[in-house]
Amino acid sequence: MIGRKRKTRKRMRPSGIALLLLLAVVAFGVYSAWLLWAPYGPSVETFVEIAPGTSARAIGEQLESAGVVRSRIAFDLLRWWKGGRLLAGEYRFDHPALPGEIYARIARGDVYTRTVTVPEGSTIFDIAARLEQAGFGSRQAFLQGQAKQTHLVADLDPGAKSLEGYLFPDTYRFPRKASAAEICAAMVRRFRQEAARIGLKENVHEVVTLASLVERETAVNADRPLVASVFENRLAHHMPLMTDPAVIYGLELEGQWRGVIYESDLKRDTPYNTYLHTGLPPGPIANPGLASLRAAMAPAHSDYLYFVAQGADPQGHSSFSSTLEQHARDVAAYRTAKRKAGAR
């Protein structure tokens, strides 16, 4: 029998194996570069909330699931390369980005916040309205929530019925889901920091109440110590303070404020009507800033008992007087200035 030819299996040469390995390395490198350097992500607002204690691998999975990164593999590569600590919080993504940018944001804790500015002299009603406008729940929810947080100032003002006076005016950045309790805690903490800085330790209730009156009566820092002296002098003489902002605040608490103060309002008997009741009102009528707190702590030395706006602008300087006769002349000058301003 004629023997069959045996088929011989060709063995791959070492150069062929090397070529395949090289191609595999190149392919992996291209793929890795694509993962790391090709922008990816949502084109609409997307939030990712990372809970405290979440592992880097789990964070990568969250980001991939939310469509923020193309693959958690890219995020794992960055974690291996960069290391560092990733911080918990809520993050907002709204455009395609490089994985390195995403990683850097989470590593530095660039969490999403909303900014709220609370001007000096804002009341709890003003603050509630600003928070509602910024998306932190309803105005009423904040008003009810702050009233339940008076324990935050129990050592400063044991009889406080609300946090009025202790929500320090400033610009704040709060997480999107911040609760009324968290917001109040941050604002009271800020008050405590500023109070410690100016040495406010004693008679806090009285000082903050007086400061709130000063804050609402003048916007001119130079006049604040003089306004405080007028109130101090009237208190010493057992004279009613006769300050409209306190009357207005009492009406706001009762839901009776009509936007303009009427003569009938001055006769309405609320605890904050400083025309009918002598002494300081029951508590602060607003949240004062540093200048007013300092003025209340150290009023100017004067014999003034009266003041009124000096010109047509009620936010401008005031005229101060020691006698009712001089005050009457100052009031007449103020009314004349108002009429002239209205005629222009």
Please check whether residue 27 lies inside any domain of the structure: no
Would you state the pLDDT for residue 1?
Answer: 46
pLDDT bracket for residue 38 (50, 70, 90): low
Please check whether residue 3 lies inside any domain of the structure: no
CATH of residue 132: 3.30.1490
Domain of 260, in residue numbers: 204-343
Would you state the pLDDT for residue 99?
Answer: 84
The mean pLDDT value of the chain amounts to 89
Whether the pLDDT of residue 2 is over 60: the answer is no
> How far is Cα 332 from Cα 44, in angstroms, rounded to an integer?
60
Could you give the 3-state DSSP secondary structure of residue 308? strand
pLDDT tens digits, one per residue of 132-141: 999 999 999 9
> How far is Cα 343 from Cα 336, in angstroms, rounded to an integer?
11
Would you state the pLDDT for residue 120?
Answer: 97
Q: Closest Cα to residue 267, out of 240, 294, 285?
A: 240
- Residue where one domain finishes, among candidates 198, 217, 251: 198
Please check whether residue 26 lies inside any domain of the structure: no
Please check whether residue 286 lies inside any domain of the structure: yes
Same domain, 193 and 232: no
pLDDT bracket for residue 23 (50, 70, 90): low
pTM exceeding the 0.75 threshold for the entire prediction: yes
pLDDT tens digits, one per residue of 187-235: 999 999 999 999 999 999 999 999 999 999 999 999 999 999 999 999 9
> How far is Cα 288 from Cα 169, in angstroms, rounded to an integer?
7
Q: What is the mean pLDDT of residues 103-123?
A: 94
> How far is Cα 311 from Cα 335, in angstroms, rounded to an integer?
8
Please check whether residue 15 lies inside any domain of the structure: no
Same domain, 87 and 159: no
> How far is Cα 302 from Cα 290, in angstroms, rounded to an integer?
22
Same domain, 219 and 174: no
Contact predicate 6/53, CB 8 Å: no
pLDDT tens digits, one per residue of 42-87: 888 899 999 999 988 899 999 999 998 887 887 888 888 877 789 9
Please check whether residue 234 lies inside any domain of the structure: yes
Residues making up the chain, counted from first to last: 344
Quote the number of domains for the chain: 3
> How far is Cα 306 from Cα 328, in angstroms, rounded to an integer?
10
Same domain, 122 and 250: no
Please check whether residue 2 lies inside any domain of the structure: no
Same domain, 338 and 271: yes
Range in 13-17, 93-97, 236-240 the model is least confident about: 13-17
Could you give the 3-state DSSP secondary structure of residue 130? helix
- Residue where one domain finishes, among candidates 163, 198, 233: 198
CA 207 to chain CA centroid, Å, is 23
Whether the pLDDT of residue 343 is over 90: the answer is no
Same domain, 177 and 148: yes
Whether the pLDDT of residue 150 is over 60: the answer is yes
Same domain, 217 and 316: yes
What share of the chain in percent tops pLDDT 90?
A: 71
Would you state the pLDDT for residue 7?
Answer: 52
Same domain, 177 and 143: yes
Same domain, 138 and 180: yes
What share of the chain in percent tops pLDDT 70?
A: 88
Determine how β-strand 171-175 pairs with β-strand 306-309.
Answer: unpaired
Same domain, 297 and 274: yes
Please check whether residue 8 lies inside any domain of the structure: no
pLDDT bracket for residue 27 (50, 70, 90): very low
Whether the pLDDT of residue 292 is over 60: the answer is yes
Range in 13-17, 120-124, 235-239 the model is least confident about: 13-17
- Residue where one domain finishes, among candidates 198, 215, 246: 198
Amino acid at 287: N
> How far is Cα 184 from Cα 320, in angstroms, rounded to an integer?
37
Determine how β-strand 318-321 pairs with β-strand 306-309.
Answer: antiparallel
Would you state the pLDDT for residue 40?
Answer: 72
Same domain, 283 and 337: yes
Range in 20-34, 71-85, 87-101, 227-241 the model is least confident about: 20-34
Q: Is the dihedral of CA 83, 42, 177, 175 positive or negative?
A: positive
CATH of residue 81: 3.30.1490.480
Same domain, 121 and 103: no
